[in-house]
Structure formats: structure tokens, C-alpha cells
Amino acid sequence: MFNVSENIFDTDMGRYSIKEVETLSGIKAHTLRIWEQRYDILKPKRTDTNIRYYSDDQLRLILNISTLNRSGFKISRIAAMRPEQVREEVLKVETTHDEPDFLLDSLIHSMLDFDEYRFEKTLHSAIVKMGFEDAFTKLVFPFLIRTGVMWQAGSVRVVQEHFISNLIRRKISAAIDGIYVEPTDTAKRFVLFLPENENHEILLLFTEYLLRKKNHHVIYLGCSLPLSELDFVAKSFRPDYLITYLTIPAEDTSLTTYVQRISKALPTSKIIVGGSQIAFSRTKLPDNCIPIHSAEELLTVIG
């Protein structure tokens, strides 16, 4: 697995293995090899041990080829185009196609090129067609899963991940601000937080949006909350539910111990936990803890 250079002034910023390009583009490695060998449209570099790797420009080209190919262009025709022709055709396609695969490629381009205008245009198109919730569950979160894998592998730079995450965070926050909540007697009380050292709050913000839209009373405590503060929250607010997402292992305790401590701090509340630590764990949760793996499961749990 290749890692991006830590030097921000490195001109060859991207260095992607064929498997990483497959993850980002959705194009199978076998197909990438055919495009290279049969059509001479890709020109990956090779390591001293003859393993392919791709630059930022090659990744952008692959995304463009994928977009045009899905819209009906034959690879032979794309291979005959000049680079500027490819870019022009892609822009035409993006204005007339709003299927998730096309939009996903556009979001990845937006991240790689720091193109805020393209991001806003792409997401707006998705929201108009799908609605806010579906645009996030069917487009934004699959996009984040792809880029998250690449970020952990070192093939998407931290600055690129921060750029796109902040744009998405801003979009959700604006949607939350547009919801007026007037809790009723039937409204439930929720506390939302992330553990210490956990700073990826997009999913937590989206959870707040879903709950407020259903007119629930939400206390949003954000990122990196010390576990010791939950005792005070429990006594002061007496929530019906507490929701958190566990993606980074706790430094000083096991997953089992951490969840048990939450359960003990709020014994009369239902504890809803999600995130990769839960998804890949076989830990037996306390009786008042409920694991979730999607927004649909969350809405089913809270009713």
C-alpha cells in the first residue's frame, strides 16, 4: 500500500496503487489494465519492483473516463480525444446526468481539485432530485466511505479530507438551523456526543438533523467529550436516549469497558451506539445498549 508524501510541497502529491484507484473510482482493476493495454489511454508509473501506481492526474483522467463511459461514450472514442475535449464532455455530462454514480465522481473531483463551486453544484443537484436525507444516505455517505478508506491509507491528503468534510459539515449545519423545534409532551430527549479524540462529527450532525426534523429535544455535545461528564448530563437533562459513534479505539480502555461505563452512567436511558468499532465487534453490549448500522436502523429504534 502506497502512502502520500508528507511534504506538502511535493509536486507528485498523489501516489495510488491500482487497488486504491479501484476503491476511489469504482472501476475494477481488470478494466483499468484493459484500458491501459488495449487502448493506451492510461500510463501508470511503476515501482522498482514493476508494480503500477497512479498520479493525481491519472486518477482524474480515470474518473473522467468512467463518467463518459457510463454516459455512453465508447472507450475507443475517449482514447482518441484530446485532454481538453475529455474535460469539456465531462462538464456537459454532469449538467445532464444526476444519477448517483455520476454525482459521486463529481464529488471526488471536487475534493481532489479543491473545487467548492463544483461541490455545491453537485450536492444541490442531488438534494433537488433525491431530497436532503436521501442525498446524504445514498450519495454523501458512500462518498465519505470511499474517501475515508483512502485517507486512512494515506492516498488522500489530510488537507483534502478537511476541505470536503468542512463543506459537508456546513451544509448539514445550515439544514439544522432551518428546523424549528417546539418539543411536545410526546417528544423524546436525546443527548448526542463523540468520545475523546473522536473529531469526525458529520454522522453525528446528520443524526441531529434527523432527530430535530422529527421534533425531538436534542442536546448536542459534539466531539471529544470526556466520559466523566456523562454523569452530570444524566442528572441535569435525564435523556431518554444517548447516541454516540465509536470509530477510533479508546486509548485507555477496551470497547467493552467503555460501553459499560456509558451504560452505568445512564442506567435508565437507552444507549444507541454506531460506528466502525461497533460494526466490526462481537462485543456483548449491556441490556440498555442498542447497536445501529444505518440511518434507517436509527429511525426504526426511536420510532
Measured from the Cβ of residue 144, the count of other Cβ atoms closer than 10 Å reads: 20
- The order of strands in the sheet holding 52-54 is 16-17, 52-54, 45-46
Which region among 55-64, 80-89, 238-247, 249-258 has the lowest average model confidence (pLDDT)? 249-258
Average pLDDT over residues 85-110: 76
pLDDT, greater one: 178 or 301: 178
151-177 burial by CB neighbour count: b if 16+ within 10 A, else e? bebbbbbeebbebbbebbeebbeebbe
| Domain residue ranges in the chain | 16-176, 181-302
Q: Residue 14: pLDDT band by 50, 70, 90 thresholds?
A: low
Q: Tell me the range of 73-82, 248-257, 290-299 where mean pLDDT is highest.
A: 73-82
- pLDDT attached to residue 178: 92
Which region among 136-140, 241-245, 273-277 has the lowest average model confidence (pLDDT)? 273-277
- Residues contacting 287, CB < 8 A, separation 6+: none
- pLDDT attached to residue 96: 61
- The order of strands in the sheet holding 217-220 is 217-220, 189-192, 241-245, 270-274, 289-291
pLDDT at 97 over 80: no
Average pLDDT of the chain, as a whole number: 83
Number of H helices, E strands in the chain: 15, 8
Q: Tell me the range of 118-132, 136-150, 153-167 where mean pLDDT is highest.
A: 118-132
pLDDT at 255 over 80: yes
- 143-161 pLDDT, tens per residue? 887 777 666 556 677 888 8
- Environment class of residue 121 by beta-carbon count within 10 Å: exposed (0-12), middle (13-18) or buried (19+)? middle
- pLDDT attached to residue 102: 76
pLDDT at 68 over 90: no
181-302 is classed CATH 2.30.40.10: no
SS3 content of the chain, % helix, strand, coil (to 5): 55, 10, 35
pLDDT, greater one: 248 or 110: 110
- pLDDT attached to residue 191: 95
- pLDDT attached to residue 161: 84
Beta bridge pairs of residue 17: 53
Which region among 10-24, 47-61, 192-206 has the lowest average model confidence (pLDDT)? 10-24
Q: Residue 1: pLDDT band by 50, 70, 90 thresholds?
A: very low
pLDDT at 106 over 50: yes
* Architecture of the 16-176 domain: Orthogonal Bundle (1.10)
| Contact in structure between 26 and 66 (CB atoms under 8 Å) | yes
Average pLDDT over residues 188-217: 91
| Contact in structure between 24 and 108 (CB atoms under 8 Å) | yes
Q: Residue 242: pLDDT band by 50, 70, 90 thresholds?
A: very high
pLDDT at 170 over 90: yes
- pLDDT attached to residue 95: 59
- Residues contacting 26, CB < 8 A, separation 6+: 66, 101, 104
Q: Residue 120: pLDDT band by 50, 70, 90 thresholds?
A: very high
pLDDT, greater one: 148 or 264: 264
pLDDT at 174 over 90: yes
Average pLDDT over residues 7-36: 74
